[in-house]
Amino acid sequence: MRRTIAPAAMLAAGFCLAVSGLQSSAVAAEVKLLSAAVMRPVFAELTEPFEQSTGHKLTINYVPAGAARRRVEAGEVFDVVIVQRPAAEELARMGKIEPRMTTLARSGLAVAVRRGMPKPDISTVDAFREALLAAKSVSYPDPAEGHAAGVLFRQIIERLGITEQVNAKAKLQKRPFSDSPPSDQADLAIAQPTEIFITPDFELVDLIPEDLQD
């Protein structure tokens, strides 16, 4: 089978393309998927139905979005890759992936608190800023690990002028939020909604204000 990387901020077109090629063969095949970790809850539901309906094996490697980009850029080969559209477009310009791409989903930054704790008001930019300052501890994805959400959050606190105050009490999430050990958790956490939904000890407050989203 000829391997074709399809950027999958883009899964619809890329994944259908891969399946079409596989269905022409009577032999079950392995479909290799490299995905930003935020998609893990989605594929937890989609993998079994896909495998049952096609007979093909879906092998998924979940990594931070930045790490996914670096692996493709380094020449690692997958059938489908899920990254943010700007990263996919850049990889296409570099000739690392095919330029065909379809937006799969939109995800934004959200706030979570430990289950049972009062939920702060984050309905406006000013309210969100005050909630960050009032929190005893804050956790967010470590940008150094390739977490795009962490990169964005650091830009946000710089924009709000509270970088020093937040980082003084911050805990960096080295792994996806749902996999973070207690030592990386805080009273108020910044994560993507899909990760919050599958983390039993935390509950969603809301998305951060739209003016701060990417």
Global pTM reads: 0.69
Q: Count structural domains, the chain.
A: 2
According to DSSP, the β-strands at 6-7 and 80-82 are: parallel
Would residue 102 count as lying in a domain? no
Q: What is the pLDDT of residues 17-72, one digit of tens each?
A: 222 233 444 567 899 999 888 888 888 889 999 999 999 999 999 888 888 888 99
> Residue 41 is part of a domain; what is its CATH number?
3.40.190.10
Integer Rg of the chain from CA: 19
Residue 123: CA count within 13 A, CB half-sphere: 2
Residues 188 and 136 in one domain: yes
Q: What is the pLDDT of residues 98-142, one digit of tens each?
A: 888 888 888 789 999 999 999 999 999 999 999 999 999 999 999
Domain hosting residue 21, numbered range: 6-93
Would residue 178 count as lying in a domain? yes
